[in-house]
Structure 1
């Protein structure tokens, strides 16, 4: 009887262990299967989310393209109707982004033939619209406002703009439809993922129950390991604190050195400027003691140029990298210095229109000298006998980074003998300095009287970018 009961007990225990092993195996199968399914679904969801994000980006770029076209047209109309140069800045900014935005949009839909074809149909229309806007602004800026307004009031530009809006709107509607479809796919994937997670949880609960007894033994071992890790962690934290203090001290030292170097550079520029100003004063003293007219003329020119170089050095303000400066800020300071140092009997006013461009400090002084020469020549030759007048100084930067320096006056205009423009020392200096940036000065008569001198500086911005 006892032997029979023992056999039954052993049989029951073996059966229980068999069921336990089976439960563990089933749980592991559920977890592995659910994990594999979840991984597959997560990858699919990632792909779908990426598509959704791409669709949002495409819609955003399409909207940016529309806004750029509208901003360009608004700036064009504002300028033509008011002749206010303030409208040219938003126009130029918008025109500068239209082509880039269109190209980015074409890249985004490269794998969507239908959308790519739809966008391809408006490339020529965009170009026609840009040509029309540029033509009207050019006509207006050259005094042919009536022709520009005639083009503006025609229905061609309006119809072209409506066609562009309609095509882009259709493009966005197609992307919205794709977005709705992809959102539905994401929702389906989410539901399947939830089901896979629930299956994994069911398997995990069963497996956790089977492994609970073994976990108790491991807890004690983990406690011993934790104590050892805590000790090591305290040692590591102390080491980190020490290194942090050292890093802070090194950073503070570096900041102090940077401030010292910056102060030295600024002081050096001021010292150079002051030294040159001293030379200018000595030339002025010599000028008062000279009776020869030719010598006085030469000394006056030399004094003016030394003063211009001294002003450039004193006005130079370096950026955070201690190597570059903003051309607009620097040139404005040079012109302001010329306003203040102008003789009291001179009634020449200076107006500026300067675009911002980060350039090397060594190039800034060269450009400052060129501008000083142009302004000095304008005041000296355009307004003889202390005649009053106005001088405009412009520094313009194109979309491709090429710069141009323009000085315009409303004085007596170009001399009859054109060779005088090429033979003068000032013209020679301007020409030699401009060639450093791949440019040449050009002289033209101004509408309404006066002279326009343009100095192209095509490699100025590119040299700065290459150095950076």
Structure 2
């Protein structure tokens, strides 16, 4: 049975709706699963911090006690070195553990008792060491043999072991939950991919069938009667219009799935504008009115609807940002690179100059030390790499110190060029060193705006330039990104060709 224009339009509209629903479903499910994964990850990080603090405190207490006993038995000052190294770190280690456990009220009493035991144990250690150093070893050993200090150590070890065990269990459960969320995300993506493939396949089949029918009709018209030029011209015009309709619907299927998002934004603005007369109507009634209808209307107009509109705006902005981020990554991957002679010192100076005002505003400074010959590479891509790294150094600066940025360049024996961009910012946790290069993944406190695409974009560009990017970082000294590039991009382009 041939497909009519109206039938084609209905089928195309149905496919668009199915594809739109699949897109909305996968975006909503992805956002929810990503947020759940972030929650699980934060739980794992918190558990690991608690475990590290408990292990550190336990080891320091054991080192201090072992050092004290070694000194009492030998009276050799060399045995006091572990004690002296540990004694000043015990209280900070306890404070770190207490900060992690502050969110758990059930830990308040045991932690308070541990503080008492730590103070008493440190007093005992200091007293016995002072007695032994003064030649009163018997009195010092008498204090040790009372087992009071050992009982305090036992209580503290028991509590710390319990904290470590609970942290291990929480870490295991968090990892299991993350894996579950990742598996669910894969399933959602697979289902959505199958639906979209089915939609695109159905649309392609329908377009091909409709096109074949149009071509057949055109051939039939041309073969009917060559003498009736007017009739042929009329049928040709009809066919041309039909072809334009096919192209229009094909464009809708392939490009206009984003239109509903724009509609949502527009209708949200209209809904927000519609609140003004409602608020004015509610304002005419006294705030202390006891009419339940007025009370409910006031709450709806002043609280519920603005909150719902805000959530819709936030969700649409986030979805739009994700789409733009993916488009940005895909465009960069497809951009043709242009190799040209680039002086790295000049390029670094111009890149730093673009952000110098921001560095100066923080009373900071930037230094450049590049000892490499000129390279043949894509200037725009390399400028974007350095620009992204400098923007990150400024964006994630440490709040307690001025910005210090160093750019160094070197050439290894194999000819590869390495550029180090170092800052004294807030650093990146060790467990995030790899994940910060993943798309939509960010590290640390999310107190600055961003979509999590900058470093992923940088890695793609660095690899396009025949190299890669790595990092070294800690919260004390900041972060150093090392970008490697090929000295001559033309050779790589020829080998790829």
**TM-score, normalising length from structure 2?**
0.42
Larger radius of gyration: 1
**TM-score, normalising length from structure 1?**
0.44
